[in-house]
Amino acid sequence: MGEAIERFFATLPARAPAVLRNPIHGTLQVDLTRENRTEHWFVELSPGSVRVLREQLPADATFTVSMDLFERLVTGRAAGMAAVLRNEATFSGNVALFLLFRRFFPDPPSARDPRETARAHLGRSG
């Protein structure tokens, strides 16, 4: 397993207060596949906190993705929703949990806040 993936899961509890402000509670099983092997991560989400275990447990939702793609997700080189829509990853269960979990993925390095782009455009034209 890649260092970026390990670091991603290790930092979730510290990042949770800033990311998880919705009153949603639930559990998410993240299954990372590579060839004929699957690594399991169990993530318990609640407002302002996350608990992460390296186990396969019953969950409210399951996100299944290749390790390679997940590494691209956690480094901002791919987008979670786009991966699901392209069927490169699968999701089942409570969709709100996936929408909440994907907030932990960083934006692509070239991403810009649309408000900044609009302000820059208005500054040039005004």
Specify the DSSP class assigned to residue 88.
Answer: S
Q: Over range 60-64, report the average pLDDT.
A: 97
Q: Which of 37-41, 82-86, 115-119 has the lowest mean pLDDT?
A: 115-119
What CATH code is carried by the domain that includes residue 20? Answer: 3.30.1050.10
Q: What pLDDT does 112 receive? A: 62
Q: How confident is the model at residue 111 (pLDDT cuts 50, 70, 90)?
A: low
Domain tally, the chain:
1
pLDDT tens profile 81-107 = 889 889 999 999 999 999 999 999 998
Taking 70 as the threshold, does the pLDDT of residue 126 lie above it?
A: no
Dihedral of the alpha carbons of 14, 78, 75, 18, in degrees to the nearest 10: -20
Query: What's the pTM value of the predicted model, to 2 decimals?
Result: 0.82
Q: What domain range includes position 102?
A: 3-125
